[in-house]
Amino acid sequence: MKAKARILYVDDDIDTCEMMCILLGEFGHEVTYATNVTDGLRLARSEQSDLIFLDGRFDDGTGVELCRTIRTFDSETPIVFCSGTSLQSEIAEAMSEGAQEFMVKPCSIQQVQQIILRLMKQARESAKLISTSNDLKAQSRELLRTSRELIEDQTKRNDERAKSARPQQN
């Protein structure tokens, strides 16, 4: 069975990571995990993920720092914070650094699944819009090229008519 989503889950609690692998696996998702910022960054760079889940705090940094770094090379993959903090300032900082969602622990697996499905749907719709936009750009370039050719042809014909209409001087 093909995974519904490839998920990178970064949390400093290995038990949480392993539990999320099992639970999300039950929904058909493929989950890779890391328990620190360094490994999370390495996996974000090397693995193709559909979604990234981040905790807020790690021994070697913060989820916000990791999110900020990921956004320097990946502006597309949705990032969801799943953290024990409910401080509005930390939530606002995470969102301003590129997160799409912020969930406060504890959260149910159904809540997580709903967010995954919604973000996956948004990603598919966005991909369709980008594809349509690229198609329209290609069509516009082709129309522009054809228009230029028509204008050049018409200019040449006009120049030829003007030459032939001039009285011949002996």
Query: pLDDT digit string (tens) for 42-69?
Result: 999 999 999 999 999 999 999 999 999 9
- Between the two ends of the chain, the Cα-to-Cα distance in Å is 87
Q: What is the CATH number of the domain that holds 29?
A: 3.40.50.2300
Structural domain including 114 reads 6-127
Does any domain span residue 52? Answer: yes
Calculate mean pLDDT across residues 133-149: 80
Give residue 150's pLDDT band: very low, low, confident or very high (50, 70, 90). Answer: confident
Does any domain span residue 135? Answer: no
Does any domain span residue 74? Answer: yes
Give residue 1's pLDDT band: very low, low, confident or very high (50, 70, 90). Answer: very low
Give residue 129's pLDDT band: very low, low, confident or very high (50, 70, 90). Answer: low
Between CA 78 and CA 109 the distance in angstroms is: 18
Does any domain span residue 138? Answer: no
| Residue 169 structure tokens | 């001087």
Does any domain span residue 76? Answer: yes
Does any domain span residue 137? Answer: no
Tell me how many domains the chain contains.
Answer: 1
Between CA 80 and CA 119 the distance in angstroms is: 10
**If we measure between CA atoms, which residue out of 48, 131, 63 comes closest to residue 102?**
63
pTM here is 0.73
Does any domain span residue 84? Answer: yes
Does any domain span residue 87? Answer: yes
